[in-house]
Amino acid sequence: MTYCAGILVEEGLVLIADTRTNAGFDNISTFRKLHVVEVPGERVLGIATAGNLSISQSVLGLLREGVSVPGSELREKLVDAPTMFHAAQLVGHAVRQVRHEIGEALGEAQLSFDASFLFGGQIKGGPMTLYMVYSAGNFIECGLDAPFLQIGEHKYGKPILDRAITFETDLYNALKIGLISMDSTMRSNLAVGLPIDLLTIRRDTHMIGLSHRIEPGEPYFTDLSQRWSDALKAAHMAIPRPPY
């Protein structure tokens, strides 16, 4: 299982991803699901993946080495994409190329072509954007009304995002709320787990702000989890009992 959240606020972008993978319930590993392409001062692109790991790794490989684009002889790389929209199209092409290569064989093995991506960042001269790319390579762009997107095991961590995130939330509060969302998910689904990878990008800097991995036992995250648990208890205890 996987949980990744992307939050796009006025100050910039946060991407958070767990690292737990499982091939069956008894084969659990740690793999990085959050990846970055950076040309400092020119572009910084983050991509978080959910679904079948072989699919998402193949898509990342194509984006690094070159994706065949329909109607063109050239193979395009993410690092050369002129705009964020063009880059998101490229991610979509890569997903469809992998689907074309292995989709039928996966089907014969009774496996679905399961993959989704959060893709966000900024290329100099263009706006900062965040996209969710689906397993058919189609995609949606994050808007201002609900300035976050999620992939994987998204439900446990959605209530806090629904209630706490607005476009005006500052970047480090957005990161904190994203970590609370991740903590809620890990608490309710053991198939989402530490370490957690974080990426923040400040708008118009075109470079990584923060790239960090939270390991098990890290004091800040342990404290956040405990404080959140305590605060939830205090919060429901402060609500009057039903009058019925």
Q: Which residues bind a second copy (CB under 8 A)?
A: 155-156, 158-160, 162-164, 172-173, 175-177, 179-180, 184, 187-188, 198, 210, 212, 220, 223-224, 227-229, 231-244
Structure tokens at 216: 């098990």
* Residue 142 vs 182, nearer CB to a second copy: 182
- Please classify residue 86 by burial: count the beta carbons closer than 10 Å to its beta carbon, then call 0-12 exposed, 13-18 middle and 19+ buried: middle
Contacts of 182 (CB under 8 A, 6+ apart): 3, 5, 16, 18, 157, 192, 196
- Please classify residue 152 by burial: count the beta carbons closer than 10 Å to its beta carbon, then call 0-12 exposed, 13-18 middle and 19+ buried: buried
> Do β-strands 196-202 and 12-18 pair in parallel, antiparallel, or remain unpaired?
antiparallel
* Residue 105 vs 238, nearer CB to a second copy: 238
* Residue 136 vs 210, nearer CB to a second copy: 210
**Closest approach of a second copy to the CB of residue 198, in Å:** 7
Task: Identify which of 151, 222, 148, 237 has the alpha carbon closest to the alpha carbon of residue 183.
Answer: 222
Rounded CA-CA distance 186/156 in Å is 9
**Closest approach of a second copy to the CB of residue 70, in Å:** 33
* Residue 26 vs 163, nearer CB to a second copy: 163
Task: Identify which of 124, 123, 174, 125 has the alpha carbon closest to the alpha carbon of residue 5.
Answer: 174
- What distances in angstroms separate CA 8 from CA 60, 189, 205, 210, one per listed residue? 22, 25, 15, 15
Sequence length of the chain is 244
**Closest approach of a second copy to the CB of residue 201, in Å:** 14
**Closest approach of a second copy to the CB of residue 214, in Å:** 9
* Residue 81 vs 192, nearer CB to a second copy: 192
> Do β-strands 75-76 and 67-68 pair in parallel, antiparallel, or remain unpaired?
antiparallel
**Closest approach of a second copy to the CB of residue 153, in Å:** 8
* Residue 13 vs 60, nearer CB to a second copy: 13
**Closest approach of a second copy to the CB of residue 207, in Å:** 16
